[in-house]
Every structure is written in C-alpha cells, then in structure tokens.
Amino acid sequence: MRKAIYPGSFDPITNGHIDIIKRAVKLFDAVIIAIAQPRHKKPLFSLEERIYLARESLKNISNIEIMSFDGLLVEFCRKLNIDIVIRGIRAVSDLDYEFQIAWMNRKLYSNIETIFLMPSEEYFFLSSSLVKEVAMLKGNIDNLVPKVVKEALIKKLNLG
C-alpha cells in the first residue's frame, strides 16, 4: 500500500490545499494530511480547530487520514514508515523555499522523496494568509475556502 504525507499548517485549509489533496489521492492509496504548528507565526486557529476544519472540508474525499504532528517532519515520516512527502507549488515564489525544505528533509532522511504538485490555475496565488487578510477586510472569500471555513473565519474575526 503506497502512502504519502501532505504536511502543512493549514491555518485554515483552503480550496488550494483541497485541490492538491484531490490530485494526491489519485496517485496514492492513502494520503495523510499532517497538521503542524506554523513555524514562524502564531496560528489564527488552534490545532483542534484546524483539524476540525480540515475534517469537515474533506468529508467527501476517501483514502485520507488527518493527523497532527510536532517537531521534525522526517521523524514523523519515520514513525509512520512513510517516505513520500507531497507539497503544493504555486507561483515561482514557492519554489526556492520548497526546494530548501525538500533538500533539508533529504539530508535528514535520505529515503524521503518530495513530490511537488501544481494546483488548478484558479488557486495559483491562493494562500491561507491572503484569505485571512481578505476576510479581515470583509472581502468575498466564497470561492477560496469551503463554507465551514468561511463561517469559522467570520466567527473568529468577529465579523458577524
């Protein structure tokens, strides 16, 4: 059984993440959505909230499992005995950073392969941070996140 891990902070999950997950489940028997603490910033949503929003948003996709992890991704991969990491690549701006991470993960665990997937073009520039910013300014995010995420953002940002 071929399994892959799709790690990220998912703060919150967007249609861009979901697009990548739908592509990944076509390639693997199972995809673990691994939710971590963001590395450089305090998340808007708690870990439990991010897991809940991911679970609700991915209800219709089979062959996925949602987990959380702390610390090094490669250690989590080792623990689960999985050596394939999925990452999404948006515009070229992602490339440099994503290559650094993939390179370091390979240094730390030589068996790891990182697979980069490209989203549908409507999500080329979509990020969780941009969604949060637009939501805060009361912009329309209907086509950018699932309904449950939109509602959670409105509640969290006291926009109701």
Q: Which residues are catalytic?
A: 17, 41, 90, 128
Instruction: Examine residue 87 and tell whether it contacts ligand ADP (CB under 6 A).
Output: yes
CB of 160 to ligand ADP, least distance (A): 25
CB of 59 to ligand ADP, least distance (A): 19
DSSP three-state, residue 1: coil
Tell me the window of 45-53, 56-64, 122-130, 152-160 that interacts with ligand ADP (CB under 6 A): 122-130
Residue 2 CB partners (closer than 8 Å, separation 6+): 28, 29, 30, 84
1 versus 91: smaller Cβ distance to ligand ADP: 91
Beta bridge partners of 64: 31
Q: Closest by alpha carbon to 152, among 46, 38, 17?
A: 46
DSSP three-state, residue 114: strand
Q: Which of 54, 69, 128, 149 binds ligand ADP (CB under 6 A)?
A: 128
- Strands 30-35 and 84-88, how do they pair? unpaired
Kindly list the residues in this chain that would bind ligand ADP in the complex (CB under 6 A): 8-10, 14, 16-17, 20, 38, 87-88, 90, 94, 119, 123, 126-128
